[in-house]
Structure 1
Amino acid sequence: MNKIKLISVLVINLFFYMLSKVIPKNKDLWVFGAWFGQKYSDNPKFFFEFVNVNHSDNTKAVWITKNSNIVKNLQEKGYCVYHERSIKGIWHQLRASKAIICQSLHDDLFSPCIGKRTEVVQLWHGIPLKKIMFDAFSKNKRRKNLIGRLFDWLTPYNEHRNDIVIATGELTKNMLAKAFKVPTNKVLTCGFPRNDVFFENVENVENVENVEFKCIYMPTFRGGIASECDLFEKYGFEIKQMEAELTKHNIHLTLRMHPVNKPPSRIVEQIKNSKVIKLDNGDDIYQSIQQYDCLITDYSSIYFDFLLSNKPIVFAPFDLEFYKKCERALYFEFEDVTLKPYCYSWNNILERLIELKNESQSSEYQKQYTFLKAKFHNDNVQGSSPFSSQLYNELTK
C-alpha cells in the first residue's frame, strides 16, 4: 500500500512539474511562503505586507500556506491567501513569476508547481553566526546509492534552488553567496524586510530613573525539539532575588526561548504570577521587538538585527567553551563579533541591566557597537520601510 501511495504521489507531482514548464507566467504575480508553510512570519511576511500596502496596483501578492488557520486569519484581514494544495493555490503557484521564501522551496511552497521559469527569491531568516546550508552540510554528505539517485532524478522539484538571495552588506553578501552556492551578482544587498520595524516611528522616551526598562532574553537553540532547556537555575536564576532587584530598579524581563525549546516547568510555574518577569511565546518577535530597551542573548543571530535599534545588547554566553566544541562551526570567532563585557551568570546579567538603565554607555562600548553595526549593515538607510523598498525596486528593475 505504501509503495502504491508513493508512486501515486510521484506521478501527481511530476504532472504538476511538467505543467509548470509550459504554463505561461504572470510577471505581476508573486507567491510567498514561510517556515515550512506553517507560519505567517519573518521576512516573507513583512515583504508581503509591504507589497500589499504600497504596490498592489502593480503586483499581486499571494500568501501560500499548509495551515488552514493562516488561511482563515489572512482572509479576515483582506489578504489573498490559499492553501498550497487547493485548486486556486496550485494555479497561482503555477502562474507566479516569483516565489518568495525564507527556508527552502520544497519546505515553504508546493515545489512541483514552481518551475524553472519562476524566479525563487530566498529571503532567509537572519545573518548567520553558525555556518549554514552548503557551508555546514556539504562536506559530510554521503554519496547516495542507486535508489537514492533515482529518487532524486524523479523529484527534481525538491532540489535546493535559489535564484536570488538577499544580504545586509558586502560581508554578508559574500558569506551567503558561498553558503547558497549562487553568484555574488545574484545576491542583493538590500537588507532584510523584517528589519523595517527598527525604522518605524516610535515614541521616544528619555531613559530616566522612573521609566520602565524593558529587556528581552532570547537564547539560541539547544538540544532536541520540544526539549526543556535549563539556562536558569544552573546559572544562578533565583526567582525571589530576581524579582526583588528587577522591581527595585523598575526593570521588566521577558523570557523568550527558541521556538523549539521551552524553559524548565518549575521556572514557568515560579514566574506565573510575577509582575516583572514574563514568558513570550508569540509567533513573530518582530511584531514587538522594537518595544524593548535591551536585548539579552548568548549566540542567537537576532542580535545582528537588533544592532539597527542602537539599543544595548547584553551577551550571556554561559557555556561558551562547551558551545564552541559541540555546535557546528561558526563563521566568525565569537569574541570578534560580539560586545563585551560578557555575563556568565544571572547575577552578572542583573548587575549589567541595572548599570545600563542608570548610567550612560561607556565610550568603549559605543565604539564596539558602531564597529559591529557598520561591519554587518549598510549605512545608507532611509525612509520608514527602507529594506522592503530596496528589495521591491531591485526585483522590479
Structure 2
Amino acid sequence: MKLIKYLVTLLILWPIFLLLKFIPRRNNVWCFSSYRDSFVDNSKYLFHYVSTKHPEIDCYWVTDDLALIGELNAQGYQAIKRKSAKGILIIIRAKCVFYSSYVSEINHWLTSGAKLINLWHGLPLKKIEFDIDSGVLAKKYGKQFSAEKLYKQIFFPAAYRRADLMFAPTDEMERIFKRAFRLKDKAIVKCGSPRTDQFFDEQSFSALTKKDLAQLSVPEKRKVYIYMPTFRDTGGEFFSKDNFNFEQLNQVMEKVDGEFWIKAHPAAGVENIELSQYDRIKLLPSNIDMYPVLKLSHALITDYSSIYIDYLLLDKPIYFYCFDLEYYKKNCRSMYFEYDEVTPGHKCLTFSSLLECIEQHNDDFAPQRQDIKSIFWGRGYALGCQSIVSRLKS
C-alpha cells in the first residue's frame, strides 16, 4: 500500500504540481482553511471579514468535514469539500490561499502558482520551524542533510513550502518570522493578527463571538480562570497526580468564587481525566474558539504557549505554571527570549504554588505587562484583517 502511495506521489502528484505553475488563476477567488478541518484561528476570522466586508471577492472555506460545510453554508458562507470535483476546480482557480499552519490545510499539490498566505497560529516564544535547534523536531528542520529529511521533502513537502506573505506586528517579530520561515524581502505585513482584531473591533466579529459563547454556560458573577498549556514535542502524561490535584483546585475556586476552565492544545489533547464530581472545574470542547472566551475571563494560566502573548492585549493577570521548564527547554524547544524576562506574571513551579498565587491574587505585573506587550505588539495595534486585505488588493 505504501509503495502505491509513493508511486502516485512521484508519477502523478508531482507532475500535477509542476504543471499548475503555468495555469492562470483568478484574482478574486480566495480559499481559506485551518488545521484539523476545523473552523478556527486566524483563517476563520479573516475568512469572515472578507466574506462580509468584500463581496467583490469570492471566498471559500475548504474542509472535508461535511457537517461543517453544511453549517457554514447555512450561515451564508461558501464552504466546499476539499476532496470533491468542485473543491478541486475552485482550489486550482484560487489566486490566494490562506492557512493557519501548513498549505496542506488547503491542498499542497493544487496550490502551485497560487499566492500563499501563512497566517500561522501565534507570535512565538519558543523557536519554530527552521529555527528549531533542539528536541525531536530539529532533524526535520535542521540544516544538516539526511536521508530522512529528503524523504519528507519529497513525500510530505507541505511543511517546506515557503509562504509569499505573513504578518508581524513589530520589527523583532518580522526578523523572527523571516528567518524561521525563510521568507523573502517584503513578505511581511506589519499588523496585528486577524483573531485578535475582535479585541479592538468587536462589531465586525459579533456574529462569530455570540455563536461560540452560546456553547458555554458562562457564569455571570464567578471569575473564570482559563488554563491553556502548550503541547510537549515528547508527549507524556500532563494531568498526572504530580502536576494536578483537582480536589484542592476545586476548593480554591470555591474560595475565590471562580471556575477553572481547561482548554487542551489541539496537538496534545488530554488524558482520561474525570471531572464530573467537581462543580468548579470544566473541560472545554476541543473545537471551541477560545478568543471570545478569553475576553470574558478573569485570568490566564499557561506555561510556554504563545497564547499569553495574545492575552497581553487584554491586560489581565497571567500565571505561568512552568513545572517542567528545564526539561522543556532541553528536550522540546529552546526559546527566542529569556523566559523570565518576557513572562510578566507569577512563575509557579509546583501545583501548590499555583494555587497559592491564585488564592492570594496579587497582580503586581501590570506595568511589566505593558513593557512586554510592546516587544511583541508595539505601542499601537494595526488591525490585521484590514491590513492584510489592503496589501493583497494593492
TM-score, normalisation: structure 2: 0.85
Query: Which moves more between the two structures, 90-99 or 76-85?
Result: 76-85
Aligned equivalents of 1:155, 1:216: Cα separation in 2? 35
Q: After TM superposition, give the deviation of residue 164 of structure 1 in Å.
A: 0.9
Aligned counterpart in structure 1 of residue 238 of structure 2, from 229, 238, 250: 229
Aligned equivalents of 1:46, 1:58: Cα separation in 2? 18
Q: CA RMSD in A?
A: 2.8
Query: Which moves more between the two structures, 322-331 or 254-263?
Result: 254-263
For these two proteins, the number of residue pairs brought into alignment is: 370
Determine if contact 1:214/1:291 at 8 Å carries over to the other structure. Answer: yes
Aligned equivalents of 1:257, 1:2: Cα separation in 2? 33
TM-superposition CA deviations, 1:293-330 (whole Å, max 9, x none): 10001111110111011111111111222222222221
Report the equivalent of 1:241: 248
Report the equivalent of 1:256: 263
State how 1:138-153 maps to structure 2 within 5 Å: 138-139=141-142, 141-144=144-147, 148=151, 152=154
Corresponding position: 1:22 with 2:22: yes
Aligned equivalents of 1:330, 1:8: Cα separation in 2? 39
> Counterpart of 1:296 in 2: which secondary structure?
strand
Aligned equivalents of 1:346, 1:4: Cα separation in 2? 50
Determine if contact 1:28/1:58 at 8 Å carries over to the other structure. Answer: yes
- Consecutive unaligned residues of structure 1, counting only runs of 5 or more, are 203-209
Determine if contact 2:318/2:345 at 8 Å carries over to the other structure. Answer: no
Pick the structure with greater CA Rg.
Answer: 1
Aligned counterpart in structure 2 of residue 355 of structure 1, from 357, 360, 364: 360
Q: After TM superposition, give the deviation of residue 70 of structure 1 in Å.
A: 2.6
Report the equivalent of 1:301: 306
- Consecutive unaligned residues of structure 2, counting only runs of 5 or more, are 133-137, 207-219
Aligned counterpart in structure 2 of residue 103 of structure 1, from 101, 104, 126: 101
State how 1:175-186 maps to structure 2 within 5 Å: 175-186=176-187
Identity of aligned residues (%): 29
TM-superposition CA deviations, 1:80-113 (whole Å, max 9, x none): 11122211111111111111112122x2122222
Q: After TM superposition, give the deviation of residue 147 of structure 1 in Å.
A: 8.8
Corresponding position: 1:291 with 2:296: yes
Aligned equivalents of 1:122, 1:87: Cα separation in 2? 25
Corresponding position: 1:124 with 2:117: no
Aligned equivalents of 2:144, 2:238: Cα separation in 1? 30
Aligned equivalents of 2:148, 2:38: Cα separation in 1? 35
| AA of the residue aligned to 1:255 | I
Query: Which moves more between the two structures, 162-171 or 321-330?
Result: 321-330
Q: After TM superposition, give the deviation of residue 141 of structure 1 in Å.
A: 4.0
State how 1:77-88 maps to structure 2 within 5 Å: 77-88=75-86
Report the equivalent of 1:74: 72
Determine if contact 1:197/1:290 at 8 Å carries over to the other structure. Answer: no
| AA of the residue aligned to 1:273 | Q
Aligned counterpart in structure 2 of residue 273 of structure 1, from 277, 296, 318: 277
Report the equivalent of 1:191: 192
Counterparts in 2 of 1:32 and 1:186: CA distance versus 1, 3 Å? same
Q: After TM superposition, give the deviation of residue 158 of structure 1 in Å.
A: 7.6
TM-score, normalisation: structure 1: 0.84
Aligned equivalents of 2:375, 2:3: Cα separation in 1? 52
